[in-house]
Amino acid sequence: MMATGPSYRVPFRRRREGKTNYRSRRALVLSKSPRLVVRLTLNHTTLQIVEAEAVGDKVLVSAHSRELAKTYGWLSSGGNVPAAYLTGILCGFKAMAKGVEKVFLDIGLHIPSKGSRIFAALKGVLDAGVEVPHSEDILPDESRISGKHIAEYGIQLSPDAEVYQQKFSKYLSRKLRPEELSEHFSAIKGKIMSSFKKKVKQEKEET
């Protein structure tokens, strides 16, 4: 039964639904620095850099894992660790291009877990040159970021053609063997880095 009375106030809807931790949000807003908002779904990774204003949050930069496939030719899932890292580095380069050099991580209600997709995305932002306060212990190692664990699993399953096909049907439908994921990751990372280097060079030439 809901409480009633003249002093009772209905909690904010997002608090009732468990979607926002207002104590954490208040601390981030009071920092007066942009927030790196990382949100995950089963198949995608989304990053936004937002700035708090009186009327609400203003999005300064955003990156979505769909961009990896659409712009850079990513053939793997948008919801794995390598994709999270690549989305992070894409967001980081966009931030640097707009003059955003320092942000604070906002993971919302995601439970922090060492080496997870959230921190793979964070590693990408850091590698692009953006400063984000963090502990090195939470970041995934390079082999996991590049997808070597997926490649090794593919090698392990390859003798059983039926199981291999079942587990990696999406990879194979896109003409990507899981064993080749690390090389594909490096190629896409190179494309992202070179595209922003070209943009910086063009901007310097125009000025």
Token pair for residue 134? Answer: 């963090």
Q: Is residue 61 part of a domain?
A: yes
* pTM of the predicted model as reported, rounded to 2 decimal places: 0.84
> For residue 127, with 0-12 CB atoms within 10 Å meaning exposed, 13-18 middle and 19 or more buried, which class applies?
middle
Cα dist. 75→21, 41, 80, 90, 141 in Å?
35, 18, 12, 16, 22
Task: Determine the pLDDT at residue 197.
Answer: 84
Q: Which structural domain range is residue 187 located in?
A: 20-206
Angle between helices 81-97 and 117-127 (to 10 degrees): 40
Cα(172)–Cα(119) distance, rounded to whole angstroms?
A: 28
Q: Is residue 3 part of a domain?
A: no
Q: Is residue 146 part of a domain?
A: yes
> For residue 169, with 0-12 CB atoms within 10 Å meaning exposed, 13-18 middle and 19 or more buried, which class applies?
exposed
Cα(131)–Cα(135) distance, rounded to whole angstroms?
A: 12
Task: Determine the pLDDT at residue 57.
Answer: 82
Q: Is residue 24 part of a domain?
A: yes
Q: Is residue 100 part of a domain?
A: yes
Q: In this structure, what CATH number is given to the domain that contains residue 170? A: 3.30.420.100
In the chain, the DSSP E strands lie at 35-40, 45-53, 56-64, 104-106
Task: Determine the pLDDT at residue 111.
Answer: 83
Q: Is residue 189 part of a domain?
A: yes
Cα(132)–Cα(129) distance, rounded to whole angstroms?
A: 9
Task: Determine the pLDDT at residue 154.
Answer: 96
Task: Determine the pLDDT at residue 1.
Answer: 44
pLDDT in tens, the chain (207 residues): 445 556 656 555 655 555 555 565 565 566 677 999 999 999 999 999 999 876 778 999 999 999 999 999 999 999 999 999 999 999 999 999 999 999 999 987 778 899 999 999 999 999 999 999 999 999 999 999 999 999 999 999 999 999 999 999 999 999 999 999 999 999 999 999 999 988 776 765 665
Q: How many domains does the chain have?
A: 1
Task: Determine the pLDDT at residue 131.
Answer: 97
Q: Is residue 11 part of a domain?
A: no
Q: Is residue 9 part of a domain?
A: no
Cα(67)–Cα(185) distance, rounded to whole angstroms?
A: 14
